[in-house]
């Protein structure tokens, strides 16, 4: 199985994960937004990788400005997840 096929197949368990955590109503809102922003990262990374290959003849990781721009969404996702759970922990400690 190629890495591209594995990458595409990995989207389905993640969508299932999002469905369950959204439906549960237990996930802090900010963290939930962060988990959804990860989908934005995936949606941006795919065309960025294609662009890097077509216009530069390189992998996305080798085109710094493009790679950094795509990775911004991964960083944003991580920050939102951490802040969301941090906020939930602090609220839980108050009660």
Residue 22: inside a domain = no
The residue ranking higher by pLDDT, 1 or 56, is 56
What mean pLDDT comes out for the span 41-69? Answer: 94
Domain count within the chain: 1
Report the alpha-carbon distance of residue 46 to residue 27 in Å, rounded: 28
Report the alpha-carbon distance of residue 23 to residue 41 in Å, rounded: 22
pLDDT reading at 4 higher than 90: no
Report the alpha-carbon distance of residue 85 to residue 50 in Å, rounded: 34
**Residue 85 lies in domain:** 28-94
Residue-level pLDDT at 2: 80
Residue 2: inside a domain = no
Residue 79: inside a domain = yes
pTM above 0.95, yes or no: no
Residue 56: inside a domain = yes
Q: Classify residue 27 as left (phi > 0), alpha (psi -120 to 50) or beta.
A: beta
61-95: per-residue pLDDT in tens? 999 999 999 999 999 999 999 999 999 999 999 98
């Amino acid at each position: 199985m190629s890495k591209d096929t594995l990458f595409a197949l990995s989207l389905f368990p993640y969508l299932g994960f999002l469905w369950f955590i959204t439906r549960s109503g237990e996930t802090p809102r900010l963290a939930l937004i962060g988990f959804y922003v990860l989908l934005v990262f995936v949606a941006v990374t795919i065309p960025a990788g294609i662009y890097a290959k077509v216009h530069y003849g390189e992998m996305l990781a080798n085109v710094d400005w493009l790679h950094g721009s795509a990775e911004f969404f991964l960083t944003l996702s991580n920050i939102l997840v951490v802040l969301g759970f941090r906020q939930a922990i602090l609220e839980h400690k108050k009660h």
